[in-house]
Structures are given as structure tokens and as C-alpha cells.
Structure 1
Amino acid sequence: MFLVASDYDRTLASEENGFILSKDVAEKVNNFVKKYPFVVVTGREKRFINILAKGLKPTAWILENGSFALMDDKEYYFVENDWFNLRENIIRKLDEMGIKYSVGKVIIYLDNAVHLKNKIFLENASIEWNRSDGMIMPTYINKGFGLKKFLQLINFKGKTIGIGDSENDINLFKNVDYKVAVHNALKEIKDIADLVLDEDNGKGVSKLLDMILTGEIYKVIKI
């Protein structure tokens, strides 16, 4: 049994298309889910996913960079309650510094803020970067942690395959059995992947799903 855990931005959906998921990719994933679990592990909030990924029905969503999971319309949070008091203190600090931000259900987003990378110092919180965007969250939260908690939640015992493209997928890769990079992934992601696909974004993911369904995956990854 395989479980596929896929990033969303620049993995399932392309930046060139405004991160709107193509109908072909949605259909491919929805058909795959009939046989194997498929979870989307993303830094995004669900309110944006609802707009961008219409028609996509994965087994579950692991949202806000691993902060919580959404499955069968139920939310499962992976953060300690004291985070929300700490978050208020961080928000006050950002306000004092004049830094623009938005707030999800758990994390704080810094859009196009890579120029602030060496200017924000936080206690008991971390900033994880996804190219130019930053996400402030508890120090222990990341995509890998969220996936690990989700696997425990569903008592999954099979093999896991992670697909990604960027820095915040490194922790996802650390918590899966096999690591796959789409063709448009950053070099640092390709360097640690077990398999680098020859197609970008959703086309690459679709190809991987076909490889799993046909058994071709066994020829390219030592499983």
C-alpha cells in the first residue's frame, strides 16, 4: 500500500496558471484516490484552496504547513494551545516593526518578504520559507511533522511517497519513505530526491501516479 503526499504550489499546480489546478490533474488524483490514499500537504489556507483547487478530492488536506489536517470535513489540530497566546505577541511585534502579514487558523503569513529574512528574530517560533514567502509557526511544526501526525491518526502502515519542489518540502522529504521532485523543483530538492520527474508541476505528479498504478515505480525506485 502506498500513500502519496504532495505539495500544492508549483507541484500540483503551476505558477504560470495562477496556481489554479487543471481539471486533468484533479481527475487524475481523484481516480488515484479510489485505490491509494493521496494527501495534499501545503502551506496554504483552505479558503484559498477552495478557490484554486475546485473539484480536487484527496483523501485529506494537511494545511498551513503541517499545522492541522482536514479529512471528511473534520479538523485535526497538531499545535499546542499555548501557541495562540504566543502568536498574539508575535503579531504585536510585527505591527511595531511595520511588517505586513496575514493570519491563518494557526500560522502567520509573510507574503513576498524574503528581504526580511535576516531582520525578524522570534523566540519559541520559527519562520519557514517557501521561495519568497515566509510562514511563522511553532518551532516543531512543519510539513513532515503534520504528515507524521496524520499517519498516526489514520494508523497507516504502508509506504509513503512525498512530492515537492521547494524549501518547505525538505521536512516533508525527511518523513517519507521515498522522495520525488517535480522537474521544476529547486536544485536543493532535486539533490535529495530518490526520483526527479521529467515533467513540471501537475504533469509530473500525474506521471508519478500512473507509474504507481502500473507498477512502473518499482523499476525506477528501489522499493
Structure 2
Amino acid sequence: MFLVASDYDRTLASEKNGFIISDEVKEKVNEFSKKYPFVVVTGRERKFIKVLAKGLNPTAWVLENGPLLLIGEKEIHLVDEDWFEIRESIVEKLEKLGLRYSIGKIIIYLDNVGNFSNKLRFDCARVEWNRNDAMIMPKNMDKGKGLLELVKILNFKGKIIAIGDSQNDIPLFKVADYKVAVANALDEVKKIADLVLNEENGKGVISLLEMIESGNLFKKIDIN
């Protein structure tokens, strides 16, 4: 048995389409999820996913880059209460820096702040990057740790196949048994992938799912 864990932005959905998932990808993932566990692991908030991925029905979601799980309508927050005091102190520092930010249920988002990477370092929190966008979250949390907590809840005992494109997918790759990069992935992600697909974004995900269903993926790897 295996579980597929997929990033969303620039993996399931293309930036060229405003990150709105295509009907073709949606239908394929929904069909696949009826037979095998499929989890979307993303930095996105639930409120944005509802708009961008309307009608997408995976087995579960790992949101806000790890600390928020969504199984059906049940939300599970993987965070200590002291985080919210820590978050307030970080927000004060961001305001002093003059940076624009938004706050999710747990994490802090900053768009296009790559030039401030040296100033976005906190002993009390973890900073994850997705290209030039930053996410500030509890120190002990990332996509990989969020997925592992979900796996425990689902009582899943098989292998994990992860697919992604950017820096914040590297922790996801670290907990996977097999790592797949879409064609538009960053070079640093491609370097650690077991397989780099020929197709970009959702077309790459469709290709991967078809390889799994046909058994062709397992002819290349020892994952059974």
C-alpha cells in the first residue's frame, strides 16, 4: 500500500492559471483518491483552497505548511498554545521592518520578501520559503512533520510517494520513501528527487498517477 502526498502551488495547479486547479487534474485526483490515499500538502490556508481547488476531494489536506490538518470537515491544529504569544511578538518585528503580512489560523505569510531573508530569522520560530514567499510557523513544524502526524491519524502503514517543486517541499521529501519533482521544479528539488517528470504542474501529477495505476512506476523502483 502507498500514499501520494502532493504539493499544490506549481505542482497540482499552475501559476499561469492563477493557481486555480484545472478540471482535468481535479477529475484525475478525485478518481485516484477513491482507490488510493492522496493527500494535498500545501502552504495555503483553507479559505483560499476552497476557492482555488473547488471540487477537489483528496483523502485529506495538510494546510498552512504543516500545522493544520483537514480530514473531511474536521480540523486538527498541531500547535502549542504559547505559539500565539510568540506569533504576536514576531508580528511586531515585521511591522517595525515595514513588511506586509497576513495571518492564517496558525502561521504568518509574507509575499515576495526574498530580499529580506537575512532579517527573517527567529530563534522562536521556523521560516520556510516557497520561491520568494516566506511562511513563519512553529519551530517544530514543517510539511513533512505535518504529513507524519496525519499518517498516524489515518493509521497508514505503507510507503509515501511525495511530489513537489519548491524549497518548502524538501521537508516533505525527507519523510517520503520515493520523491518526485515536476518538470518546473527548482533545481535544488530536482537534485534530490528519485524521479523528475517530463511534464509541468498538474500534467506532471496526472502522469505520475497514471504510472502508479499502470504499475510502470513500480517497475523502476523498489517500493512495494
Give the superposition deviation at 1:96.
Answer: 2.1
Q: Determine the structure 2 residue equivalent to 1:153.
A: 153
Instruction: Flag structure 2 segments of 5+ consecutive residues without an equivalent.
Output: none
Q: Determine the structure 1 residue equivalent to 2:214.
A: 214
Q: Determine the structure 1 residue equivalent to 2:121.
A: 121
Alpha-carbon contact 1:7-1:164 (below 8 Å) kept: yes
Percent identical: 62
Give the superposition deviation at 1:97.
Answer: 2.1
Give the superposition deviation at 1:221.
Answer: 2.2
Alpha-carbon contact 1:195-1:221 (below 8 Å) kept: no
Moved over 4 A (4+): none
Q: Determine the structure 1 residue equivalent to 2:192.
A: 192
Distance 1:220 1:190 in 2: 17
Q: Secondary structure at the match of 1:106?
A: coil
Q: Secondary structure at the match of 1:208?
A: helix
**Is the aligned partner of 1:176 residue 2:176?**
yes
Amino acid at match of 1:156: F
Q: Determine the structure 1 residue equivalent to 2:40.
A: 40
Output the TM-score relative to the length of structure 2.
Answer: 0.97
Aligned residues: 223
Q: Secondary structure at the match of 2:157?
A: coil
Q: Determine the structure 2 residue equivalent to 1:12.
A: 12
Distance 1:21 1:220 in 2: 29
Distance 1:217 1:122 in 2: 41
Give the superposition deviation at 1:113.
Answer: 0.7
Give the superposition deviation at 1:180.
Answer: 0.4
Q: Secondary structure at the match of 1:192?
A: coil
Q: Secondary structure at the match of 1:112?
A: coil
Q: Determine the structure 1 residue equivalent to 2:66.
A: 66
**Is the aligned partner of 1:201 residue 2:205?**
no
Alpha-carbon contact 1:113-1:134 (below 8 Å) kept: yes
Amino acid at match of 1:92: E
Give the superposition deviation at 1:198.
Answer: 0.7
Distance 1:198 1:23 in 2: 21
Alpha-carbon contact 1:195-1:220 (below 8 Å) kept: no
Q: Determine the structure 2 residue equivalent to 1:112.
A: 112
Distance 1:12 1:221 in 2: 23
| 1:139-198 deviation line (CA, Å, top 9, x unaligned) | 111000000111011111011100000000000000111100001111111111111111
Give the superposition deviation at 1:21.
Answer: 0.3
Amino acid at match of 1:158: G
Q: Determine the structure 2 residue equivalent to 1:102.
A: 102
Amino acid at match of 1:8: Y
Q: Determine the structure 1 residue equivalent to 2:131.
A: 131
Q: Secondary structure at the match of 1:148?
A: helix
Amino acid at match of 1:166: S
Alpha-carbon contact 1:190-1:196 (below 8 Å) kept: yes
Q: Secondary structure at the match of 1:121?
A: coil
Q: Secondary structure at the match of 1:65?
A: coil
| 1:63-100 deviation line (CA, Å, top 9, x unaligned) | 00001100110011111111111111111121222211
Amino acid at match of 1:16: K
Output the TM-score relative to the length of structure 1.
Answer: 0.98
Q: Secondary structure at the match of 2:202?
A: helix
Q: Determine the structure 1 residue equivalent to 2:24.
A: 24
